[in-house]
Amino acid sequence: MRTFTFFGNKALLELPKTAFLSSRRIPPEQVLKCYDWAASQRDAGTCVISGFHSALEKDVLRFLLKDRQPLIVVLARRFYTRIPEAWNTAFDEGRLLIVSTSSAARASESTTRQRNRFILDHADRVVLGSLTPGGDLDKLVSKVAANKLVLL
């Protein structure tokens, strides 16, 4: 049985949530679509759940932190010793939940799959910035979230 640990406003799990995931490799033309999507979610106040681990996902998080919507960051590793400074305002305002899906010191392929599964299981809708056909994310999404899927 997996044990998840939570830091922040656990009530955010009760909100409708949109997952944002992206393969590591993303065509340049998709990047701007993802930024536009992030801005639209920020303006709408959507609760977004993601690992915010890849470079693109980190950029999306920066867009989302500029406003006041709730965010759920799911780690594929144990908690940070300190939360990143850019997250402090959202955390202090109760708009941030950080979930750790592993006690490992670093993310691995296995802990990343576990994290992504947690995200997909808790999302009402899944938005993919990019998807590598046949990749781990493609296989997982096809298995557990095909009915929730939106491609940018």
Q: Locate 29 and state its tokens.
A: 């033309």
pLDDT of residue 152: 53
Q: Which residues pair with 125 in a beta bridge?
A: 18
With cut-offs at 50, 70 and 90, classify the pLDDT of residue 8: very high
pLDDT digits (tens, 9 = 90+) for 20-76: 998 888 888 889 999 999 999 988 889 999 999 988 999 999 999 988 899 999 998
Cα dihedral: 152, 44, 69, 67 (round 10): 90
CB 79 within 8 A of CB 100: yes
Mean pLDDT of 147-151: 65
Helix (H) or strand (E) holding 63: helix 55-65
